[in-house]
Every structure is written in structure tokens, then in C-alpha cells.
């Protein structure tokens, strides 16, 4: 799996600095739109100096799928939402579209997928959530297993043998 050169990506702090220079009387509003204890989804809206909506952005994080997400997954999602919101607006972005924070997440997931033993075994809570998401899509066990094999590009795992990193990647995929 490829790792991305994070130097090609702006930080959210850099995007915020550009936003406040362009809109010193603007506003950035974040809203938690989903939280279930293991995943969180934030929506961010930005407004210009006259209070007009400029853009929105969304970001999601999963509890515990990185060291920072063991203690601050809500804050991490909120920050990513802000970065996406600014990138979606008239200021756009310098360099690549995603923020460096988002690409760190991609590198983290890719590393987890590349190491079959990464992060130990999936927890019963993760497996239960994964199965619940699949049921919500109307999938049976066979359909879920086919999806896992296709997503992870492996054919030697079943739900109960997934690592925590693999399970997080499958959960992320099922939520889309």
C-alpha cells in the first residue's frame, strides 16, 4: 500500500489562517451530526464577513483506530471537518485537496491493512458494529464476506479473524 508524502498537503491550521485573513469577521460553525460511542461525524459550515454561507465539509473518525483517536477522536473529526469545509469554499486549498490530517488517516489505514497483525484482533464491539452495518444494508454473511475480501484484497479472513485495523477499514467502507 502506498504512503502519501504529507509535505504535499496543507494543515488545517494553515487553512484556518488563510480563512481568517480573507474573512476576519467570518464564522466557522461545527456540529456533531452523529455519535454512537465508536464513530463520530462532524459537519462544518463557514460564513463570510456578511454572514452568508460559503461552504460545508464533513469528517468522520472511529474511536481508537490511532493513538490520537484513543483520547480525542471527536476533536480530530471536528478539525478535519473544518479543513474540508475551507477546502470546499472559494479559498480552496494549496497543494493537494485533502488536508495533511486526512492523509495521515489514509496512511494509518493503509498501514493497518498492510500488516495483518496490526492492532491485535478486532474487538467484539467492532465486530458487532460491522455486522450491524451489514444487516442495515440487507446483506447476509456471504455478501459481507465477499465485500471484506474485495475491500481488503485478501481471501483468507473471516469476520472473526479480522485485525482491529482491518475491521476499522471495513466499517469505514460500509458507512459510505
Domain that holds residue 92: 6-114
Residue 5, pLDDT > 80, answer no
pLDDT surpasses 80 at 138: yes
Residue 104 lies in a domain: yes
Give dist(CA 77, CA 79) in Å, integer. 5
Q: Cα 163–168–173 angle (5° rounding)?
A: 125
- φ, ψ of residue 63 to 5 degrees: the values are -60, 130
- Residue 96 and residue 140 in one domain: no
Which of 62, 54, 69 lies closest to 126 in space, CA to CA?
62
119 located within any domain: no
The mean pLDDT of 107-114, rounded to a whole number, is 55
The answer to whether residue 117 scores a pLDDT higher than 50 is no
> Within this chain, do residues 97 and 167 fall inside the same structural domain, yes or no?
no
Distance CA 158, CA 134 (A): 14
Judgement on whether residues 26 and 94 belong to the same structural domain of the protein: yes
Q: How many domains does one find in the chain?
A: 2
Q: What is the pLDDT of residues 79-107, one digit of tens each?
A: 989 998 998 999 876 655 455 555 565 55
Average pLDDT, the chain: 81
Residues found in the chain: 176
What pLDDT does residue 48 have?
97
- Confidence at residue 47, expressed as pLDDT on a 0 to 100 scale: 98
The predicted-structure confidence for 48-78, as pLDDT tens digits, reads as follows 999 999 999 999 988 887 777 788 889 989 9
Does residue 1 belong to any structural domain of this protein?
Answer: no
Pair (130, 110) in one structural domain: no
Strands of 27-35's sheet in order across: 27-35, 39-47, 53-62
Amino acid at each position: 500500500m502506498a504512503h502519501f508524502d504529507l509535505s504535499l498537503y496543507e494543515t488545517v491550521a494553515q487553512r484556518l489562517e488563510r480563512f481568517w485573513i480573507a474573512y476576519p469577521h467570518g464564522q466557522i460553525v461545527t456540529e456533531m451530526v452523529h455519535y454512537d460511542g465508536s464513530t463520530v461525524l462532524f459537519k462544518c459550515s463557514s460564513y463570510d464577513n456578511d454572514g452568508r454561507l460559503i461552504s460545508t465539509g464533513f469528517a468522520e473518525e472511529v474511536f481508537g483506530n490511532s493513538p490520537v483517536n484513543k483520547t480525542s477522536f471527536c476533536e480530530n473529526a471536528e478539525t478535519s471537518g473544518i479543513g474540508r469545509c475551507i477546502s470546499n469554499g472559494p479559498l480552496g486549498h494549496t497543494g493537494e485537496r485533502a488536508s495533511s490530517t486526512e492523509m495521515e488517516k489514509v496512511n494509518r489505514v493503509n498501514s493497518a491493512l498492510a500488516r495483518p497483525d496490526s492492532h491485535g484482533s478486532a474487538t467484539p464491539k467492532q465486530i458487532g458494529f460491522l455486522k450491524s452495518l451489514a444487516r442495515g444494508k440487507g446483506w447476509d454473511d456471504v455478501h459481507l464476506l465477499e465485500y471484506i475480501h474485495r475491500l481488503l484484497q485478501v481471501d483468507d479472513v473471516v469476520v472473526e479473524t479480522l485485525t482491529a485495523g482491518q475491521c476499522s477499514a471495513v466499517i469505514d467502507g460500509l458507512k459510505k
